[in-house]
Amino acid sequence: MAAPATETRNMDQQVDLSTIPISPSDKGEVGESKTDGKPVTVFHDKENFNVKHPLQNKWTLWFTKPPSGKGDNWNDLLKEVITFDSVEEFWGVYNNVAPVSELPQKADYHLFKAGVRPEWEDPQNKHGGKWSYQYKDKRNVEVDRLWLQVMMAAIGETLEDEEDGEVMGVVVNVRKAFYRIGVWTRTIGKHIPNRGDGDVAGGKGRSAEKGRGILLSIGRRFKEVLELPASEQVEFSGHTDSASSGSTRAKAKHTV
């Protein structure tokens, strides 16, 4: 696991949490609970105020530590950090792990839906692919802010429409010459038959045209979150192609 950050960031400088959809069970206003029909806020009892704002899905943060030598096994390097399902827990995690800019070379963060391992071989990933963008000028990129925005877009379910079921997780890679940020999807835009391997969502019953449209929409939203100019492109490649080529830089199937 990454070392804790040396200091907690100022919450006032972080992304507006109102962009994250919430569904409080009490039907009160955002940030409130109900007691005898009256709203109770943090200002009434700040010591005991514990209302949580649930996320639509549970998410797990993973960390890949840098290899110590050529004999290192991937499974030994990949560490599950914590699973959370509320806005408050997300900020608790975020404020207590090292920022991307302080990670060593060959380290990665992966934020995936709970139950999905950040591996090509996972049943929910093996038919899919990823959108990615590589920042080659590490000195002039605000990678911490951009990674935060990508995580917020993922847990806030704004990278896709609710019924799409494509986004599996997001990842950031720290390398000597670049940072790379990616969004993993369940499919490559094609119909996937149910073969009894757990892959029964995302792509089921879709035409290739609709699947491609959904993927391109995710790519465009991802590009917006990264604040990239129109002249820059994000690329989509399939995990199968990446595995065959032995590289994460397989030939792009789509670009936006």
pLDDT tens digits in sequence order for the chain, 256 residues long:
444 443 333 433 343 444 433 333 333 333 344 445 554 444 555 565 567 899 999 999 999 999 887 777 878 899 999 999 999 999 999 999 999 999 999 999 999 999 999 999 999 999 999 999 999 999 999 999 999 999 999 999 999 998 999 999 999 999 999 999 999 999 998 655 554 443 334 566 788 899 999 999 999 999 999 999 999 999 999 998 765 555 555 566 788 9
3-state secondary structure of 102: helix
| DSSP code of residue 42 | T
Q: How far apart are CA 118 and CA 169, in angstroms?
A: 8
Task: Specify the pLDDT at position 75.
Answer: 81
What pLDDT score does 243 carry? 57
- 162's CB contacts (< 8 A; 6+ apart) are 56
Q: Is 250 exposed, middle or buried (0-12, 13-18, 19+ CB in 10 A)?
A: buried
* CA distances from residue 35 to 28, 38, 39, 46, 154 in whole angstroms, order as listed: 10, 5, 6, 15, 33
Q: At a CB cut-off of 8 Å and minimum separation 6, what does 78 contact?
A: 62, 63, 64, 117, 118, 119
What single-letter amino acid sits at 24? P
Quick one: pLDDT at residue 247? Answer: 53
Domains of the chain: 52-255 (3.30.760.10)
pLDDT of 52: 83
Q: What is the pLDDT of residue 127?
A: 93
pLDDT of residue 254: 82
